[in-house]
Amino acid sequence: MDKLVIEGGVRLKGEVVVSGSKNSVLPIMAATLLTDQTCVIKGVPNLRDTNTMLKILRSLGKNTEFYKGTVTVSATKHANFTADYKLVSTMRASFCVLGPLLGKLKKAKVSLPGGCVIGLRPVDLHLKGIESLGADISIESGYVVAKAARLRGKHIYLGGVYGSSVLATGNVMMAAVLAQGKTIIEAAACEPEVADLAELLNKMGARIKGEGTPTIEIDGVKELRGVTHTIIPDRIEAGTFMIAALITKGDILIKNALAQHQGALLDKLDEAGALISKGDNCLRVRARGRIKPINVTTLPYPGFPTDMQAQIMSLMAVTPGISVITEKIYPDRFMHVAELNRMGAHIQREGPHAIVEGIKSLSGAPVMASDLRASASLVLAGLVAKGRTSVSRIYHLERGYENIESKLQGLGAKIWREKE
Ligand code: EPU
Q: What is the pLDDT of residue 240?
A: 98
Interval 90-95 mean pLDDT: 92
Burial of 277 by CB count in 10 Å (0-12 exposed, 13-18 middle, 19+ buried)?
A: exposed
First to last CA, the chain: 6
Is the per-residue pLDDT at 335 higher than 80?
A: yes
Is the per-residue pLDDT at 120 higher than 90?
A: no
Q: How far, in Å, is the centroid of ligand 1 from the Cα of 167?
A: 7
Q: Measured from the CB, is residue 123 less than 6 Å from ligand 1?
A: yes
Q: Measured from the CB, is residue 165 less than 6 Å from ligand 1?
A: yes
Interval 51-67 mean pLDDT: 97
106 sits in the region (left: phi over 0; alpha: psi -120 to 50; else beta) called left
Q: Which residues are catalytic?
A: 116
Q: What is the pLDDT of residue 69?
A: 97
Q: Which helix (H) or strand (E) holds 270?
A: helix 263-272
Which atom of ligand 1 lies nearest, measured to the CA of 91? 32
Q: Measured from the CB, is residue 301 less than 6 Å from ligand 1?
A: no
Hey, which of 329, 336, 377, 399 would you mutate to test ligand 1's pocket, going by the most ligand atoms within 8 Å of its Cβ?
329
Is the per-residue pLDDT at 114 higher than 70?
A: no
Is the per-residue pLDDT at 121 higher than 90?
A: no
Total H helices, total E strands in the chain:
14, 24
SS3 for 56-103 is: HHHHCCEEEEEECCEEEEEECCCCCCEECHHHHCCCHHHHHHHHHHHH
Hey, which of 52, 156, 162 would you mutate to test ligand 1's pocket, going by the most ligand atoms within 8 Å of its Cβ?
162
Is the per-residue pLDDT at 351 higher than 80?
A: yes
- 306 vs 57, 297, 299, CA distance in Å? 28, 9, 7
Is the per-residue pLDDT at 115 higher than 70?
A: no
Residue nearest to atom 28 of ligand 1 (CA): 307
* Rounded CA separation 403/398 (Å): 8
Which atom of ligand 1 lies nearest, measured to the CA of 373? 42
pLDDT band for position 7 (cuts 50, 70, 90)? very high
- 73 vs 28, 32, 63, 64, 289, CA distance in Å? 11, 7, 6, 5, 49
Q: Which range among 89-98, 176-185, 206-215 shows the weakest confidence by mean pLDDT?
A: 89-98
Interval 300-325 mean pLDDT: 98
- 293 vs 217, 248, 290, 307, 356, CA distance in Å? 42, 16, 10, 19, 9
% of the chain surpassing 70 pLDDT: 99
pLDDT band for position 306 (cuts 50, 70, 90)? very high
Interval 168-179 mean pLDDT: 98
Q: Which range among 152-156, 286-290, 344-348, 383-387 shows the weakest confidence by mean pLDDT?
A: 286-290
- 89 vs 243, 297, 320, 335, 373, CA distance in Å? 31, 29, 41, 20, 19
Measured torsion, CA atoms of residues 103, 107, 113, 118, in degrees rounded to the nearest 10: 20
